[in-house]
Each structure stands twice: as structure tokens, then as C-alpha cells.
Amino acid sequence: MKLSNYFMLALVVLFFALGFQALQEAQPEAKNEKVYQALKPYMPYYLEKRVGGFQIMMKGSNEKEKPPITDVFKRLEQLEKGWGQQHLKIVGDDLIVMDANKTQIGKVSIKLADEKMWVKTFFMIQ
């Protein structure tokens, strides 16, 4: 084989390696589906699809963010974690959802240890 063939092969391998790494970095953290789906109606953030990609909208207001498409899921996750730190509290086997005035607006039952652990680590609450 010629040196140019090795060079082309190295470029192809490098291209795929960098693409795979970028894909792994853009993936959001794993979520406990049962708890996350139960909390979703209370979360003020949602994705809206547009022609140019996604934008993050806030329920009840015109506030929106348009992060780069590679960062949209990471940014949504950051916003949800910040919301969870301020609006969630664990009491026994229940996850209490509070509004901005700290009054209870909902309750989610979390009986399994892995569900409690996920809530504590994902939202960084006690």
C-alpha cells in the first residue's frame, strides 16, 4: 500500500472517532422514566420544534431559548435540574412538587430506592 492510502484510512478513522465522541457528549443523562414522566406535567420547560431546529420554551410565558442544536438537550437538562432544586422536596416516600410560593401543587410517589437515589442525584436535593 502507498503512503496516501494509509493517510486516507487514518483520516476516515479519525473522522468516525470524532463523530462518535461528539455524539456521546450531546447525549443527556439517563433518567428514571417513571419518575421523570410523572414530573413532566409540572416542569415549566418544553421543546418546540422549528424549521431551524429546536427551541426551549417556558410554559405560561413567551420566554424561549435557542441554543445550538448540539447543546439543546444538555441545556434543557440544566434548566430542569435548576427547577428541581428549587421546587422539589422529598418527604418520606413522596416527592413534593411546589410552586414559586413554596405551596404544594403536586405529589409523586417514589417507593423504590433507585427512584429516590435518581431524584437525589439528578436534581441534587436531599
- Tens-digit pLDDT profile for residues 65-124: 888 888 888 899 999 999 999 999 999 889 999 988 888 998 999 888 899 999 999 998
> pLDDT per residue over 7-51, tens digit each?
899 999 999 999 898 888 877 788 888 999 999 999 999 998 888
Q: What is the largest CA-CA distance in the chain?
A: 72
Residue extents of the structural domains in the chain: 1-30, 31-123
- pLDDT number for residue 43: 92
User: Cell numbers 470524532 label which residue?
Assistant: 18
Q: What share of the chain is helix, strand, coil (3-state, %, to 5)?
A: 45, 25, 30
pLDDT of residue 111: 85
Residue 68 has a pLDDT of 85
**CB neighbours of 114 closer than 8 A, spacing ≥ 6?**
32
